[in-house]
Structure 1
Amino acid sequence: MSRPRAFDEDTAVRAAQNAFRRTGYAGTSLSDLAEATGLGKGSLYNTFGDKEQLFQRAFGDYCDEADAATDALFTPDAGLSGALGYLRMVTRDALADREHVGCMITKTTSELAVSSPAVVDRASRTLHHAEDLITGALTRARETGETGGEEDPRDLARLLVAITRGIDALGKAGYSAQALRAIEATAARVIGG
């Protein structure tokens, strides 16, 4: 009969997620993961399999959390406020990231895009989910007269997703709060056109 686990699996995954966010997949050793989670290597293997499986779990959980945070911004009647709320959320997160760790999606796709189709697929689903919600919100904003302009809402949504990935990367590169807020303000004017 096996012993019950003496640790919380979700807490261990969160600790591993933080380690991967700081140093990337390649830069995080099994010893780093054992230290971060407080678990022995045997417990890590027995619970999560190998490093790749633990990483996929941590990355999947991160993407699920990003999806949930995005969903919370978009009520069924959200228009421009939903799209700009997404922009503000990403800027706020970049400004709060004092250690310049950055978004796990941005970091991971930069590191593993060539070698891990599963990572690309999961990241793409999360980014497309945001794009779809923003497109819907901008379409409603145009239909209600909240915004004008000739730009296609899908194109604007893609632009907004690209800008937010850039804000995250620039925040990680140490751009000032003033610069990030200026980018946010410019993007809001373009999107709200």
Structure 2
Amino acid sequence: MAKATAELTEHDEVVSARSLITFENVQLALAAGLEACQRNGDIDPAADARQLAGLLLAVHRGIEALGKAGFDENALRSMAETALAALPRPPR
């Protein structure tokens, strides 16, 4: 989907619309997971789950692109762990 989005959305309205819907649905699924983490006490309940989901989606897409560019697995894992560590924790 990433390649289709990057290569076709400028010229194909159907691909553009479907890509947008798909990415929005992924963001909603991530937000739902983050909301569950908030209910469980793992993520600060005051944080905006939808915004955090957008951040995670962007990080994921970036890591995917960097992996395709040849970054090694350890570097990619470190990036993912850093992003997850940056999520707001509940106040203690």
1:49-88, Cα deviation, whole Å (9 max, x unpaired): xxxxxxxxxxxxxxxxxxxxxxxxxxxxxxxxxxxxxxxx
Residue 136 of structure 1 pairs with residue 27 of structure 2:
no
Residue ranges of structure 2 left out of the alignment (5+ in a row): none
Residue 171 of structure 1 pairs with residue 85 of structure 2:
no
Give the Cα–Cα distance (whole angstroms) in 2 for the partners of residues 124 and 160 of structure 1: 16
Residue ranges of structure 1 left out of the alignment (5+ in a row): 1-104
Give the Cα–Cα distance (whole angstroms) in 2 for the partners of residues 119 and 171 of structure 1: 24
Contact 2:67 2:76 in 1 (8 A): yes
Give the Cα–Cα distance (whole angstroms) in 1 for the partners of residues 46 and 82 of structure 2: 18
Aligned mate of 1:156, from 52, 58, 78: 52
Computing the radius of gyration from Cα coordinates, the structure with the larger value is 1
Q: Aligned AA for 2:86?
A: V
The Cα shift of 1:114 comes to 0.9
Would you say how many aligned residue pairs link Structure 1 and Structure 2? 89
Query: How high is the TM-score relative to the length of structure 2?
Result: 0.85
Give the Cα–Cα distance (whole angstroms) in 2 for the partners of residues 127 and 192 of structure 1: 23
The Cα shift of 1:192 comes to 6.0
1:136-191, Cα deviation, whole Å (9 max, x unpaired): 12112212312226431000000011111101110111111111011111112123
1:16-50, Cα deviation, whole Å (9 max, x unpaired): xxxxxxxxxxxxxxxxxxxxxxxxxxxxxxxxxxx
Aligned mate of 1:184, from 59, 69, 80: 80
Which residue is 1:61 aligned to? Answer: none
Q: Aligned AA for 2:83?
A: A
Residue 115 of structure 1 pairs with residue 11 of structure 2:
yes
C-alpha RMSD of the superposition: 1.6
1:1-27, Cα deviation, whole Å (9 max, x unpaired): xxxxxxxxxxxxxxxxxxxxxxxxxxx
Aligned mate of 2:43, from 140, 144, 147: 147
Identity of aligned residues (%): 34
Q: Aligned AA for 2:15?
A: V
Contact 1:135 1:154 in 2 (8 A): yes
| Change over 3 Å in CA distance of 1:149–1:186 after alignment to 2 | farther
Give the Cα–Cα distance (whole angstroms) in 2 for the partners of residues 162 and 146 of structure 1: 21
Give the Cα–Cα distance (whole angstroms) in 1 for the partners of residues 35 and 47 of structure 2: 11
